[in-house]
Amino acid sequence: MSRKILERVPEDQLQQDLEKYRQRAIELGATDAKIITTDKVIIDERVLAKCAYPKCPSYGTNANCPPHAMSLEQVRKVVNNFSYGIFLKLEVPPEHIAGQEAIDKKLANPYRRKLAEIAAKLEAEAFYGGYHLALAFSSGSCKGIFCPDIDCQALQPGQPCRNPLKARASMEGAGMDVYTMASRVGWDIYPIGAATSPTEVPCGLRLALVLIY
């Protein structure tokens, strides 16, 4: 049920709602979720540089990845206009994210898709709950999980996204340092790649953020 939009949500109501959305994220399948203030959102040019050097396979292929995504200046302005967000964690078994075989077989994609759907659902529930400017950032390229074998339609003039209720820009594509943010809230996170053996790490993480108010 939709709630009336208020110019200013009373603080006690806001805190109750934030906790409700935190719990809701876990109900939807997140491993954990935390309420954070937006001064904890770390935006760093070096993150965006990692998209281009070496160039990510998703770079330039869709509307939600660099260089088509919002600039860091725009992201900073957007984040600074919010006070709170829900930071989401989804754990991935090491054998599905670490090592060349996991990468080649794209074994982490179902987890990325699941997290994207959780973040988008939480954004929608916040919208109908009276937080009409709620905004979600997910994990990894939306094209890789929703449109892997077709061109991004949203890059065509006048054409919409094929998955507007699910596809969101990634935190890293927006220049957010998800590794440091995760560490600061107490989540263990490891650098994982093709050279990582699944036996070397307890799990992998996919992270998302929903800015609420």
d(C-alpha 66, C-alpha 74), whole Å: 13
Residue in 96, 105, 126 with CA at minimum distance from that of residue 24: 126
**Torsion, CA 147, CA 85, CA 80, CA 75, rounded to 10:** -10
Question: For 85-144, what is each residue's pLDDT tens digit?
Answer: 999 999 999 999 999 999 999 999 999 999 999 999 999 999 999 999 999 999 999 999
Instruction: Give residue 34's pLDDT band: very low, low, confident or very high (50, 70, 90).
Output: very high
Q: Is the pLDDT of residue 47 over 80?
A: yes
